[in-house]
Amino acid sequence: MSKSTLVEPGTRVRLADHDPDANGGLSKDAPEVEARLEAARAKMTELQGRLYAESKQSLLIVLQAMDAGGKDGTIRHVMRGVNPQGCSVTSFKAPTSEELAHDFLWRIHAHTPGKGLIAVFNRSHYEDVLIVRVRKLVPKRIWSRRYAHINAFEKLLADGGTRVLKLFLHISHEEQKERLEARLRDPRKCWKFNPEDLKEREAWDDYVTAYEEALSRCSTEHAPWHIIPANRKWYRNLVVAELVADTLEGMDPQWPAPACDLSGVVVE
């Protein structure tokens, strides 16, 4: 599955070529779906324990999507069962005045995972080539240089032992409309609605262009992008869970040896 979602480094992305409604030939109620999801979660739990104990490498999961793309739901459903002691979630909002006084990666670096840990970014440093570009918050001469800065930053993380897994949750324009309307009707979700979402929706085509360039220019061997079909939430969750589990498996964390000889230890 990872091959079908992978943005091969050096290729040009056209989101129109990726079906956000894909389901992998599965149906929501198929027993296989829940079985595979539970298997992926179980693998994640086991491997996270090893990663934490080994304390030599770390995993950074970057989630990006259009508004209502399902970042919160993905975190809630996929990371269920992961030990919170070894996992953090950071949601990046508009930068503060202190953050704006530094380079754009300053606030990001502080939240990257330490050895043995998993960090999830709900939005990320990519906002500085997405919303910043679309809203013209800084001149092109500034944001256009940031792709190279991002690639260098992610290479720095990779060289230091952090595996970077970047996931773009791909929904359609029609699906976004339905989700925004659902927020208005549901008292459990209407607090999420922001009139600014409608302005952002008007700029859909501009965001598509910005995402296509970010995905194309910043999918690298050390930090590749994956485009996740996300119209069907259940399929999105399955794809992401298996990608995270497979990534941890590829990192191959090992239980460390005891710090001393335990052969003669007796617990009274």
**Which tokens sit at 77?**
């459903």
Question: pLDDT tens digit string along 210-268?
Answer: 999 999 999 999 999 999 999 999 999 999 999 999 999 999 999 998 888 888 889 98
Domain of residue 224, residue span: 2-251
Would you say residue 258 lies in a domain? no
**Which tokens sit at 232?**
């069907």
Q: What is the CATH number of the domain that holds 87?
A: 3.40.50.300
Task: Identify the pLDDT of residue 253.
Answer: 98
Question: pLDDT tens digit string along 63-84?
Answer: 999 999 999 999 999 999 899 9
**Which tokens sit at 56?**
């030599």
Task: Identify the pLDDT of residue 259.
Answer: 84
Would you say residue 176 lies in a domain? yes
Would you say residue 266 lies in a domain? no
Question: pLDDT tens digit string along 183-196?
Answer: 888 888 788 777 87
Task: Identify the pLDDT of residue 187.
Answer: 82
Would you say residue 263 lies in a domain? no
Task: Identify the pLDDT of residue 66.
Answer: 97
Classified as helix, coil or strand, 97 is helix
Would you say residue 214 lies in a domain? yes
Would you say residue 69 lies in a domain? yes
| pTM score over 0.85 | yes
Number of domains in the chain: 1
